[in-house]
Amino acid sequence: MSETFRLGAVRACRYLADGRMNRNWRLDCDRGRFALKELVDADPATARRNLGLLDHLAEAGVPVPRAVPTAEGDTLAEIDGHAYYATSWVTGEHLTGADMTSAQAEHMGEVIGRIHRALADTRAGLPEARRPLAPVTGPTAARAECERFLSLIAAGTEPSAFDVAASRALHRRLELIERHAHRRPEDERPLGPYGWIHGDCQDWNLIWTGRDIGAVIDWDRVRARPYGEEVVRAATWQFGLPDGRIDLGKVAALIAGYRTQMPIGGAALADAARRHWWKLLSHCWHLVFHYDRDDDSCDDLFFTEGRMVAWWSDHLEEVERVCTG
């Protein structure tokens, strides 16, 4: 791999076990320190397109690492059915919302706004975004998914500790769906502005250097979506607390920071919040990974999001008032 990207001799290689879904390494080489990533759940053609955005994003003031080209000038190396890319290494840390100040929350919102503004610039070379739809899972389908996983757990001969905990959480999820199904979004037409977004702009993809974001990484999921969707998703995840509560003060700070860069109305953000809440409540994607793919990399997120959606269900209007601003 070092020869493919012309990095020079490898002096040290460390696997980064904290990554989710994709696999990552830190390489110390003759030419410097680099991050190497193997794509697992991304299309190579889309990954090439997104890596091609990094220079434009950097010129637009978005902190991003630079992609390292292969000897052939490609940004992606496809070897034996696997795809890899390398970027310059950025030294820093990943901060949870609890570790961040309100000023840092506002800064995070500003950076997300800069990303959206840069991706909307015609110089980015992206096609014109089409107005997206947001499918709404019905209560019957939501219950059926929970019941399918409960059946898989019941069919096992010796349930694991995860099975037992997941079963309890699924029964709790069924109760919440029954109680709150009438509050789900009414249609598939999200409100507000839309365009190209990062797609996963939260703690594990943000590297902080001091009080500022030094790099936004992992550009695998750039796609056209409502801007409010990314703002709400980033804010509620970043400032979700271990007990399920959401730090609404920092959510408000992030939104204020975003609005310094991109205009968005309160109705669009409240609509995005309602849609994201119902999406979390009506789908258990983590269990698809665990039971259908035999992949436990997102197991902890199932319980983290479960606690948050339970709290959120009891504070639905309060969250939306904060998003409205």
Report the CATH number that the domain containing residue 122 is assigned in CATH. Answer: 3.90.1200
**Quick one: 81 and 192 in the same domain?**
no
Residue 170 · residue 202 · CB < 8 Å: no
Name which residue leads in pLDDT, 69 or 273. 273
Positive or negative, the CA dihedral 287, 293, 294, 295 is negative
Q: Domain containing 31: what range?
A: 10-88
- Exposed e or buried b per residue across 37-69, where buried means at least 16 C-beta atoms within 10 angstroms of its C-beta: bbbeebeeeebbbbbebbebbeebebbbbebbb
**Quick one: 105 and 65 in the same domain?**
no
- pLDDT score, position 17: 72
On whether residue 1 sits in a domain, the answer given is no
Tell me the CB-side half-sphere exposure of residue 165, using CA atoms within 13 A: 12
Query: What type of residue is 5?
Result: F
Q: Check pLDDT > 90 for residue 64.
A: yes
- pLDDT score, position 21: 64
Q: Check pLDDT > 70 for residue 1.
A: no
Average pLDDT over residues 19-29: 80
**Quick one: 79 and 214 in the same domain?**
no
- pLDDT score, position 227: 98
Average pLDDT over residues 281-289: 95
Last residue in a domain, options 56, 88, 120:
88
Average pLDDT over residues 280-297: 94
**Quick one: 310 and 234 in the same domain?**
yes
> If we measure between CA atoms, which residue out of 217, 288, 211 comes closest to residue 19?
217
Number of domains in the chain: 2
- pLDDT score, position 115: 98
Average pLDDT over residues 192-199: 97
Query: What type of residue is 272?
Result: A
pLDDT in tens, 130-152: 999 999 999 999 999 999 999 99
**Quick one: 102 and 84 in the same domain?**
no
Q: Check pLDDT > 90 for residue 40.
A: no
**Quick one: 203 and 274 in the same domain?**
yes
pLDDT in tens, 91-102: 999 999 999 999
Name which residue leads in pLDDT, 206 or 30. 206
Residue 295 · residue 229 · CB < 8 Å: no
Mean pLDDT score across all residues of the chain? 93
**Quick one: 84 and 102 in the same domain?**
no
On whether residue 222 sits in a domain, the answer given is yes
Average pLDDT over residues 213-233: 95
Q: Check pLDDT > 80 for residue 18.
A: no
pLDDT in tens, 42-60: 788 888 899 999 999 999 9
pLDDT in tens, 69-89: 988 889 888 888 888 999 999
Show the CA angle centred on residue 44, arms to residues 43 and 46, nearest 5°: 70
On whether residue 178 sits in a domain, the answer given is no
* Percentage of residues of the chain with pLDDT beyond 70: 98
On whether residue 59 sits in a domain, the answer given is yes
- pLDDT score, position 19: 62
- pLDDT score, position 5: 87
- pLDDT score, position 256: 97
Average pLDDT over residues 266-278: 97
Q: Check pLDDT > 70 for residue 185.
A: yes
Last residue in a domain, options 58, 88, 118:
88
Whole-prediction pTM:
0.93
